[in-house]
Structure 1
Protein backbone atom coordinates (compact mmCIF):
# COMPACT_ATOMS: atom_id res chain seq x y z
CA UNK A 1 0.00 0.00 0.00
CA UNK A 2 1.24 3.49 -0.84
CA UNK A 3 1.52 6.42 1.51
CA UNK A 4 -0.42 9.44 0.25
CA UNK A 5 -0.86 13.02 1.43
CA UNK A 6 -4.46 14.06 2.09
CA UNK A 7 -6.28 17.33 2.85
CA UNK A 8 -9.76 18.14 4.12
CA UNK A 9 -11.23 21.63 3.73
CA UNK A 10 -13.15 22.79 6.80
CA UNK A 11 -15.22 25.92 7.42
CA UNK A 12 -14.71 27.90 10.64
CA UNK A 13 -17.64 26.08 12.26
CA UNK A 14 -16.35 22.71 11.12
CA UNK A 15 -12.88 23.53 12.45
CA UNK A 16 -14.37 24.39 15.84
CA UNK A 17 -16.31 21.13 15.84
CA UNK A 18 -13.22 19.14 14.84
CA UNK A 19 -11.32 20.71 17.74
CA UNK A 20 -14.12 19.77 20.17
CA UNK A 21 -14.90 16.38 18.62
CA UNK A 22 -11.93 14.95 16.69
CA UNK A 23 -13.84 11.72 16.07
CA UNK A 24 -16.44 13.77 14.14
CA UNK A 25 -13.73 14.92 11.72
CA UNK A 26 -12.70 11.34 11.00
CA UNK A 27 -16.34 10.32 10.47
CA UNK A 28 -16.76 13.33 8.16
CA UNK A 29 -13.80 12.19 6.03
CA UNK A 30 -15.23 8.68 5.87
CA UNK A 31 -18.59 10.11 4.72
CA UNK A 32 -16.90 12.20 2.06
CA UNK A 33 -14.81 9.23 0.92
CA UNK A 34 -18.07 7.32 0.51
CA UNK A 35 -19.38 10.13 -1.70
CA UNK A 36 -16.05 10.64 -3.46
CA UNK A 37 -17.43 12.19 -6.64
CA UNK A 38 -18.80 15.26 -4.88
CA UNK A 39 -16.02 15.46 -2.33
CA UNK A 40 -13.30 15.60 -4.96
CA UNK A 41 -15.14 17.62 -7.59
CA UNK A 42 -12.77 19.95 -9.38
CA UNK A 43 -12.38 23.61 -8.69
CA UNK A 44 -13.21 25.42 -5.52
CA UNK A 45 -15.93 23.05 -4.33
CA UNK A 46 -13.60 20.15 -3.52
CA UNK A 47 -13.65 19.13 0.13
CA UNK A 48 -10.88 16.56 -0.18
CA UNK A 49 -7.55 16.77 -1.95
CA UNK A 50 -4.70 14.30 -2.34
CA UNK A 51 -1.10 14.79 -3.37
CA UNK A 52 -0.65 11.09 -3.94
CA UNK A 53 2.83 9.70 -3.48
CA UNK A 54 4.40 13.11 -4.19
CA UNK A 55 3.84 14.31 -0.60
CA UNK A 56 7.41 13.84 0.63
CA UNK A 57 8.93 15.29 -2.54
CA UNK A 58 6.72 18.36 -2.10
CA UNK A 59 7.89 18.61 1.51
CA UNK A 60 11.55 18.33 0.44
CA UNK A 61 11.18 20.96 -2.28
CA UNK A 62 9.14 23.42 -0.20
CA UNK A 63 11.57 23.18 2.72
CA UNK A 64 14.43 23.97 0.32
CA UNK A 65 12.60 27.18 -0.51
CA UNK A 66 11.99 27.93 3.19
CA UNK A 67 8.26 27.91 2.58
CA UNK A 68 6.49 29.71 5.46
CA UNK A 69 3.81 27.05 6.12
CA UNK A 70 4.21 23.29 6.61
CA UNK A 71 1.78 22.18 3.92
CA UNK A 72 2.66 18.51 4.07
CA UNK A 73 2.55 17.82 7.81
CA UNK A 74 0.36 20.69 9.00
CA UNK A 75 1.14 23.09 11.79
CA UNK A 76 -0.47 21.58 14.85
CA UNK A 77 -1.83 18.16 15.66
CA UNK A 78 -5.60 17.91 16.03
CA UNK A 79 -5.88 17.45 19.81
CA UNK A 80 -7.32 14.11 20.86
CA UNK A 81 -7.42 12.69 17.33
CA UNK A 82 -6.65 9.05 16.67
CA UNK A 83 -4.11 7.83 14.15
CA UNK A 84 -5.49 8.35 10.62
CA UNK A 85 -2.84 6.26 8.87
CA UNK A 86 0.65 7.49 9.77
CA UNK A 87 -0.27 9.55 12.80
CA UNK A 88 -3.10 11.89 13.69
CA UNK A 89 -4.11 14.73 11.37
CA UNK A 90 -2.73 18.23 11.75
CA UNK A 91 -4.37 21.59 11.27
CA UNK A 92 -3.58 24.54 9.08
CA UNK A 93 -5.74 27.40 10.32
CA UNK A 94 -7.45 29.80 7.86
CA UNK A 95 -4.96 32.66 8.29
CA UNK A 96 -2.07 30.27 7.61
CA UNK A 97 -3.90 28.85 4.57
CA UNK A 98 -4.16 32.42 3.22
CA UNK A 99 -0.42 32.92 3.84
CA UNK A 100 0.34 29.63 2.08
CA UNK A 101 -1.92 30.45 -0.89
CA UNK A 102 -0.19 33.80 -1.34
CA UNK A 103 3.26 32.22 -1.13
CA UNK A 104 2.26 29.48 -3.60
CA UNK A 105 1.06 32.13 -6.05
CA UNK A 106 4.55 33.60 -5.99
CA UNK A 107 6.37 30.29 -6.48
CA UNK A 108 6.26 29.01 -10.04
CA UNK A 109 6.40 25.19 -10.33
CA UNK A 110 9.55 25.46 -12.46
CA UNK A 111 11.24 27.46 -9.73
CA UNK A 112 10.15 24.91 -7.13
CA UNK A 113 12.22 22.22 -8.85
CA UNK A 114 14.98 24.50 -10.11
CA UNK A 115 18.40 22.96 -9.53
CA UNK A 116 16.96 19.62 -8.39
CA UNK A 117 16.99 16.35 -10.28
CA UNK A 118 15.20 13.10 -9.66
CA UNK A 119 18.61 11.72 -8.63
CA UNK A 120 18.75 14.37 -5.88
CA UNK A 121 15.43 13.13 -4.52
CA UNK A 122 16.65 9.54 -4.67
CA UNK A 123 19.86 10.55 -2.90
CA UNK A 124 17.86 12.27 -0.17
CA UNK A 125 15.83 9.05 0.24
CA UNK A 126 12.56 10.81 -0.56
CA UNK A 127 9.54 8.51 -0.66
CA UNK A 128 8.84 6.62 -2.91
CA UNK A 129 12.42 5.94 -3.88
CA UNK A 130 11.55 3.82 -6.91
CA UNK A 131 9.77 6.75 -8.54
CA UNK A 132 12.95 8.81 -8.90
CA UNK A 133 14.39 6.35 -11.41
CA UNK A 134 11.82 7.60 -13.92
CA UNK A 135 12.97 10.44 -16.16
CA UNK A 136 9.73 12.43 -15.95
CA UNK A 137 9.27 12.01 -12.17
CA UNK A 138 9.67 15.72 -11.46
CA UNK A 139 6.75 16.42 -13.81
CA UNK A 140 4.53 14.38 -11.47
CA UNK A 141 5.67 16.51 -8.54
CA UNK A 142 5.06 19.80 -10.35
CA UNK A 143 1.60 18.58 -11.43
CA UNK A 144 0.75 17.75 -7.80
CA UNK A 145 2.17 21.11 -6.73
CA UNK A 146 -0.10 22.96 -9.18
CA UNK A 147 -3.15 21.00 -8.02
CA UNK A 148 -2.33 21.66 -4.35
CA UNK A 149 -1.85 25.38 -5.06
CA UNK A 150 -5.26 25.50 -6.80
CA UNK A 151 -6.93 23.67 -3.91
CA UNK A 152 -5.38 25.94 -1.26
CA UNK A 153 -6.25 29.06 -3.24
CA UNK A 154 -9.91 27.95 -3.22
CA UNK A 155 -9.70 27.15 0.51
CA UNK A 156 -8.17 30.56 1.24
CA UNK A 157 -10.83 32.35 -0.81
CA UNK A 158 -13.47 30.80 1.44
CA UNK A 159 -11.41 31.61 4.57
CA UNK A 160 -11.47 27.94 5.49
CA UNK A 161 -8.79 25.82 7.14
CA UNK A 162 -7.55 22.32 6.40
CA UNK A 163 -6.73 19.10 8.12
CA UNK A 164 -3.65 17.36 6.73
CA UNK A 165 -2.57 13.76 7.17
CA UNK A 166 -0.53 10.99 5.58
CA UNK A 167 -2.48 7.82 4.89
Structure 2
Protein backbone atom coordinates (compact mmCIF):
# COMPACT_ATOMS: atom_id res chain seq x y z
CA UNK A 1 0.00 0.00 0.00
CA UNK A 2 1.28 3.47 -0.91
CA UNK A 3 0.78 6.80 0.81
CA UNK A 4 -0.32 9.42 -1.71
CA UNK A 5 -0.65 13.18 -1.15
CA UNK A 6 -4.10 14.39 -2.23
CA UNK A 7 -5.63 17.83 -2.82
CA UNK A 8 -9.10 19.08 -3.68
CA UNK A 9 -9.93 22.66 -4.66
CA UNK A 10 -13.21 23.85 -3.12
CA UNK A 11 -15.15 27.08 -3.31
CA UNK A 12 -15.97 29.04 -0.16
CA UNK A 13 -19.49 27.58 -0.18
CA UNK A 14 -18.11 24.06 -0.64
CA UNK A 15 -15.68 24.60 2.25
CA UNK A 16 -18.57 25.66 4.49
CA UNK A 17 -20.49 22.54 3.47
CA UNK A 18 -17.37 20.41 4.02
CA UNK A 19 -17.01 21.68 7.58
CA UNK A 20 -20.67 20.88 8.25
CA UNK A 21 -20.66 17.54 6.42
CA UNK A 22 -17.23 15.92 5.89
CA UNK A 23 -18.80 12.84 4.27
CA UNK A 24 -20.24 15.08 1.57
CA UNK A 25 -16.71 16.33 0.87
CA UNK A 26 -15.30 12.81 0.65
CA UNK A 27 -18.05 11.88 -1.80
CA UNK A 28 -17.29 15.04 -3.81
CA UNK A 29 -13.57 14.21 -3.89
CA UNK A 30 -14.30 10.71 -5.18
CA UNK A 31 -16.77 12.03 -7.78
CA UNK A 32 -14.26 14.59 -9.06
CA UNK A 33 -11.47 12.00 -9.12
CA UNK A 34 -13.62 9.64 -11.19
CA UNK A 35 -14.47 12.42 -13.65
CA UNK A 36 -10.89 13.68 -13.90
CA UNK A 37 -9.52 10.16 -14.36
CA UNK A 38 -11.45 10.24 -17.64
CA UNK A 39 -10.94 13.88 -18.69
CA UNK A 40 -7.27 14.08 -17.55
CA UNK A 41 -7.08 17.86 -16.97
CA UNK A 42 -3.78 19.67 -16.54
CA UNK A 43 -2.87 20.67 -12.97
CA UNK A 44 -4.03 24.23 -13.70
CA UNK A 45 -7.43 22.95 -14.91
CA UNK A 46 -7.92 20.20 -12.31
CA UNK A 47 -9.95 20.36 -9.12
CA UNK A 48 -8.12 17.37 -7.65
CA UNK A 49 -4.37 16.85 -7.67
CA UNK A 50 -2.00 14.24 -6.31
CA UNK A 51 1.65 14.53 -5.45
CA UNK A 52 1.83 10.74 -5.59
CA UNK A 53 4.49 9.35 -3.23
CA UNK A 54 6.54 12.57 -3.38
CA UNK A 55 4.56 14.16 -0.54
CA UNK A 56 7.13 13.36 2.18
CA UNK A 57 10.12 14.44 0.10
CA UNK A 58 8.29 17.69 -0.65
CA UNK A 59 7.41 18.05 3.05
CA UNK A 60 11.06 17.63 3.96
CA UNK A 61 12.32 20.07 1.32
CA UNK A 62 9.66 22.70 2.00
CA UNK A 63 10.23 22.48 5.75
CA UNK A 64 13.98 22.81 5.21
CA UNK A 65 13.28 25.94 3.14
CA UNK A 66 11.09 27.48 5.87
CA UNK A 67 7.95 27.36 3.73
CA UNK A 68 5.17 29.53 5.27
CA UNK A 69 2.19 27.18 4.68
CA UNK A 70 1.77 23.48 5.40
CA UNK A 71 0.76 22.47 1.88
CA UNK A 72 1.54 18.81 2.56
CA UNK A 73 -0.78 18.15 5.50
CA UNK A 74 -3.06 21.20 5.49
CA UNK A 75 -3.57 23.37 8.52
CA UNK A 76 -7.10 23.25 9.91
CA UNK A 77 -8.92 20.01 10.73
CA UNK A 78 -12.57 19.61 9.77
CA UNK A 79 -13.16 16.01 10.84
CA UNK A 80 -11.54 13.34 12.97
CA UNK A 81 -12.53 10.65 10.45
CA UNK A 82 -9.61 9.22 8.50
CA UNK A 83 -9.47 9.65 4.74
CA UNK A 84 -6.74 7.07 4.21
CA UNK A 85 -3.81 7.88 6.49
CA UNK A 86 -5.12 10.30 9.06
CA UNK A 87 -7.77 12.98 9.09
CA UNK A 88 -7.90 15.54 6.27
CA UNK A 89 -7.34 19.24 6.85
CA UNK A 90 -7.95 22.36 4.84
CA UNK A 91 -6.31 25.60 3.84
CA UNK A 92 -8.42 28.75 3.76
CA UNK A 93 -8.33 30.89 0.62
CA UNK A 94 -5.83 33.36 2.07
CA UNK A 95 -3.46 30.49 2.94
CA UNK A 96 -3.90 29.06 -0.58
CA UNK A 97 -2.93 32.47 -2.01
CA UNK A 98 0.12 32.69 0.27
CA UNK A 99 1.13 29.13 -0.66
CA UNK A 100 0.72 29.88 -4.38
CA UNK A 101 2.92 32.96 -4.08
CA UNK A 102 5.58 31.06 -2.14
CA UNK A 103 5.50 28.08 -4.52
CA UNK A 104 5.83 30.41 -7.52
CA UNK A 105 8.79 32.14 -5.85
CA UNK A 106 10.55 28.86 -4.96
CA UNK A 107 11.83 26.84 -7.88
CA UNK A 108 12.47 23.15 -7.51
CA UNK A 109 16.16 23.82 -8.12
CA UNK A 110 16.13 26.15 -5.10
CA UNK A 111 14.42 23.47 -3.00
CA UNK A 112 16.96 20.76 -3.76
CA UNK A 113 20.03 23.02 -3.63
CA UNK A 114 22.35 21.58 -1.02
CA UNK A 115 20.04 18.66 -0.23
CA UNK A 116 21.95 15.48 0.47
CA UNK A 117 20.36 12.12 -0.33
CA UNK A 118 22.07 10.67 2.76
CA UNK A 119 20.25 13.30 4.86
CA UNK A 120 16.94 12.07 3.40
CA UNK A 121 17.84 8.50 4.26
CA UNK A 122 18.78 9.45 7.84
CA UNK A 123 15.51 11.34 8.20
CA UNK A 124 13.62 8.27 6.87
CA UNK A 125 11.83 10.33 4.24
CA UNK A 126 9.11 8.22 2.61
CA UNK A 127 9.33 6.20 0.37
CA UNK A 128 13.06 5.76 1.06
CA UNK A 129 15.61 4.80 -1.59
CA UNK A 130 17.60 8.04 -1.69
CA UNK A 131 20.94 6.40 -2.47
CA UNK A 132 21.54 8.20 -5.75
CA UNK A 133 22.10 11.96 -6.13
CA UNK A 134 19.64 12.06 -9.06
CA UNK A 135 16.91 10.62 -6.82
CA UNK A 136 16.00 14.20 -5.87
CA UNK A 137 14.89 14.80 -9.48
CA UNK A 138 12.06 12.30 -9.00
CA UNK A 139 9.66 14.86 -7.49
CA UNK A 140 10.30 17.74 -9.90
CA UNK A 141 7.24 17.21 -12.12
CA UNK A 142 4.94 16.78 -9.11
CA UNK A 143 6.27 19.96 -7.51
CA UNK A 144 5.79 21.87 -10.76
CA UNK A 145 2.24 20.49 -11.03
CA UNK A 146 1.52 21.38 -7.41
CA UNK A 147 2.67 24.93 -8.10
CA UNK A 148 0.35 25.26 -11.12
CA UNK A 149 -2.51 23.67 -9.15
CA UNK A 150 -2.13 26.13 -6.25
CA UNK A 151 -1.77 29.10 -8.62
CA UNK A 152 -5.04 28.18 -10.35
CA UNK A 153 -6.77 27.70 -6.97
CA UNK A 154 -5.51 31.10 -5.78
CA UNK A 155 -6.66 32.76 -9.02
CA UNK A 156 -10.15 31.26 -8.48
CA UNK A 157 -10.15 32.23 -4.78
CA UNK A 158 -10.56 28.56 -3.83
CA UNK A 159 -9.79 26.88 -0.53
CA UNK A 160 -8.04 23.50 -0.45
CA UNK A 161 -8.70 20.14 1.21
CA UNK A 162 -5.52 18.15 1.89
CA UNK A 163 -5.03 14.52 2.96
CA UNK A 164 -2.89 11.40 2.61
CA UNK A 165 -4.57 8.47 0.93
Normalised by the size of structure 1, how large is the TM-score?
0.92
Q: What CA deviation, in whole Å up to 9, does each residue of 1:55-83 have, x standing for no partner?
A: 011011111111100000101111x3521
Change (3 A) 1:75 1:166: same
Where in structure 2 are the equivalents of 1:99-118 lying within 5 Å? Answer: 99-118=98-117
User: Counterparts in 2 of 1:64-83, with a 5 A limit?
Assistant: 64-78=64-78, 80-83=79-82
- How many residue pairs were aligned? 165
Unaligned runs of 5+ in 1: none
Look up the SS of the partner of 2:44 in the other structure.
Answer: helix
3-state SS, counterpart of residue 160 of structure 2: strand
Looking at structure 1, the residues matched to 12 and 48 of structure 2 have their Cα atoms a distance apart, in angstroms, of: 16
Q: 5+ residue gaps in structure 2? A: none
1:21 is matched with: 21
How far residue 43 of structure 1 moved from its aligned partner, in angstroms, is 4.3
Contact 1:9 1:163 in 2 (8 A): yes
TM-score, normalised via structure 2 length: 0.94
4+ residue runs over 6 A deviation: none
Cross-structure match for 1:126: 125
C-alpha distance in 1, partners of 2:98/2:63? 15
**Secondary structure, in 3 states, of the residue corresponding to 1:129?**
coil
Q: Specify the alignment match of 2:161 in structure 1.
A: 163
Which residue of structure 1 lines up, in the alignment, with residue 50 of structure 2? 50
Q: Distance in 2 between matches of 1:38 and 1:161?
A: 24
Per the alignment, residue 98 of structure 1 pairs with 97
The root-mean-square deviation of aligned C-alpha atoms, in Å, is 1.5
**Contact 1:39/1:47 (8 A) holds in 2:** no
- For residues 40 and 122 of structure 2, what CA distance do their matches in structure 1 show? 34
